[in-house]
Structure formats: C-alpha cells, structure tokens
Amino acid sequence: MLVIAGLGNPGRKYENTKHNMGFLVLDAFAEKNGIKIRKIKHKALIGEGIIAGQKVLLVKPQTYMNLSGESLREVVQYYGVEPEELMVVYDDVDIPMGSIRLRKKGSAGSHNGMKSIIYQLQVDDFPRLRVGIGTEKKGDMIDFVLTGFSKEEAEKIREAVGTSVSALECWIERGIDIAMNEYNPKKKPKKPKEKPEKAGADPAGDENEGAVCSGPSDRTTE
C-alpha cells in the first residue's frame, strides 16, 4: 500500500489558505482519480483507491497542522507502511510561489507539520512533495501562511496543483527517482560544443531517450 498525506488545517476558516496546500493538492488528486476522501479514521479523513495496480490511501489529518504526526503515526502503524511508501504533501515558504520540489528524504525545515511527523515516526527518510508559497513580501509569517491567494498567486497555484497531481501519479507508477527527474526544476545545461555527426547516425535518436511518465491509466476506487 502507498499512502499520500496532504497537510493542512481543518475547518472553513482555513480553506484555500497558503498553509493548506497539502489539502488542496490531495483534493485535486482525489477528484481526478475518482476517490472520495470522507471516512473518518486515525484522526484523519481518508479515502482509498487502486491506481496503476497499486492500492493507494489518501490521508488528510484533522489534528491541525502542528499535530499532523499523531495522525500519520496511527496510519503507519495500523497499515504497516514503510517510509518509502509514504508521500507527504505540504506548503513551503522557502521556495518560489507555484513551484514544486520532490525529495526522497530530509529534514522538516521550518514546517511545524513536518516536525511533528518526523518526531512521531522517528524517521525522516520518506518522500515528500513541497509546493512553493514563497514570496519576497511575507511580513508576519503566521499571518502570511494563514491568508488566501491574490489573483496573480491563484493562477500560479492552480498550475502548481495540476503539476503536483501529475507528479504524484508519476511517483505511484514509476517511483520517486523518475518523478524527481521529471518534475523537479532543472538547471540550465551548458551549451555543448557541436560535434560532427557520425555516418549512419539516426537523427531522430533513441526512441526511448527522454521517456516521461505517461500517467496511470488503470484507476479504480474502493
């Protein structure tokens, strides 16, 4: 089983705020894949489905952000989930608004929800997808993350949510390494020196070179 946990705060007061990016991405992922996140279990709202032949559990902790780890500890222990089978989606003020980053493991940084998860699980070697909410004009951090998006920011976030859904599908189907390679920003390569073309070389190149995630096609729900 794979588990995707989206972090956020419950309640209408926090809907569509920057700190609820995990919820926003998970809701979009669930809608695209026909999964209903409505069961209450393990201090969370959960939903299950089969994607690309994999059983996938979607989790939205209802403990409020700073206690997210309490919910995920119950999920991990109940289902016997290994660290590499858990993906956590959350907001990150340290990367640009609307950008995304996938990582195999790492520290919590300044994110209290991730601090709680790492403390409760006592591991940090699980994949995570960070969605950027950073901007040069943050002001008070608590006020910043608990506010909504401007019209300009909303456009970037809509695109980021769509990209995040595709990245999660890629992780399910192809694994974290391929997903990171395809969805993390790439540094601009230095322009190589031109080399003379070898005789008989196929200008089209290897048809498998640069293969990308096609996206799961086998989706059913339970």
Indicate which residues carry an active-site annotation: 19
Alpha carbon 67 to its chain centroid, in Å, reads 19
Q: Residue 183 corresponds to which tokens in the numbers above?
A: 């969805």
Q: What letters, b where the CB count within 10 A reaches 16 and e where it falls short, cover 52-65?
A: beeebbbbbbbbbb
DSSP state letter for 11 = S
What is the Cα–Cα distance from 168 to 96, expressed in whole angstroms?
20
Q: Is 137 helix (H, G, I), strand (E, B) or coil?
A: coil
Residue 112: half-sphere exposure toward Cβ, Cα within 13 Å: 12
**Residues, the chain:** 222
